Amino acid sequence: MECIILAGGLGTRLRETIGAYPKCMAKVNGRPFIEYLIRDLEKKGCSRVILSLGYKHEILTDWIQTLDTQVRLDYVVETEALGTGGGILLAMNKATVPDVFVLNGDTYFDVDFDSLWALHSSHQSACTLSLKKLFDFDRYGVVETDQEQCITAFREKASTAKGCINGGVYLVHRESFLKRQLPSKFSFEKDYLEKFVGEKKFFGSLQQGYFIDIGIPEDYEKAQKDFKVIFPF
């Protein structure tokens, strides 16, 4: 099991809180946020993580030398900002397995990887998304699916009473992704998922686990409290 973590975010909205650090290195109870992701992946059976780095990557490359983990940690570094798609593409070229998990480095979603894998393999999916049902939100777009869990549409951000959002954990079929001949710089969401959704090769797995995106100060502060219970180490 191999996983890519997108860890090149600037953390602009958290700048006053975390300073000039990559967003994934924001401290939660004294530990970098990304450490919780790696510990969770290790617990779930991941053997290798490829970090896709960009902004102030030296902070991460120095830090991973100090981390005691059974997970093999590799990384790629963007020489310029490549977008979410470009960051995945750069790392995907170093992956060695047919299907690769992909995570956002500023989001923790307690996904059941077995159920994600089961849906992915049963439909020969090009990309399977973890979906989270939320209520009364306007920060995220909505993902629509049919009765077979095939994704039919991505809706733009809007005030929404109830809907399923993209939880930021993917299982990507490596060959299907690489054969697209995508540019080096692109948005995974806009230029891959939304562009090719009509081919009906993307599926969504509704997940019930805990979800938090630390991209805004309010949720960053919430993580400080919640992680004391979720990660008691």
pLDDT at 12: 64
Report whether pLDDT(15) > 70. Answer: no
Q: What tens digit of pLDDT does each residue of 116-168 get?
A: 999 999 999 999 999 999 999 988 999 999 999 999 999 999 899 999 999 99
pLDDT at 10: 64
The three-class DSSP label of residue 161 is strand
pLDDT band at 233 (very low <50, low <70, confident <90, very high): confident
Helix (H) or strand (E) segment spanning residue 117: helix 113-122
- The predicted model gives 193-201 an average pLDDT of 97
How far is it, in rounded angstroms, from Cα 71 to Cα 102? 15
Own/partner contacts of 70-75, CB < 8 Å, gap of 24 or more, are 70/42, 71/38, 71/41, 71/42, 71/46, 71/47, 72/47, 72/48, 73/38, 73/48, 73/49, 74/48, 74/49, 74/50, 75/50, 75/51
Burial of 18 (0-12, 13-18, 19+ CB in 10 A): middle
Report whether pLDDT(21) > 80. Answer: no
Of the chain, the percentage scoring pLDDT greater than 70 comes to: 95
pLDDT band at 22 (very low <50, low <70, confident <90, very high): confident
- The more confident residue out of 28 and 18 is 28
The domains found in the chain, sorted by start residue, are 2-230 (3.90.550.10)
Which of 2-16, 47-61, 93-107, 176-190 comes out lowest in average pLDDT?
A: 2-16
- The predicted model gives 51-59 an average pLDDT of 91
Report whether pLDDT(11) > 60. Answer: no
Report whether pLDDT(216) > 90. Answer: no
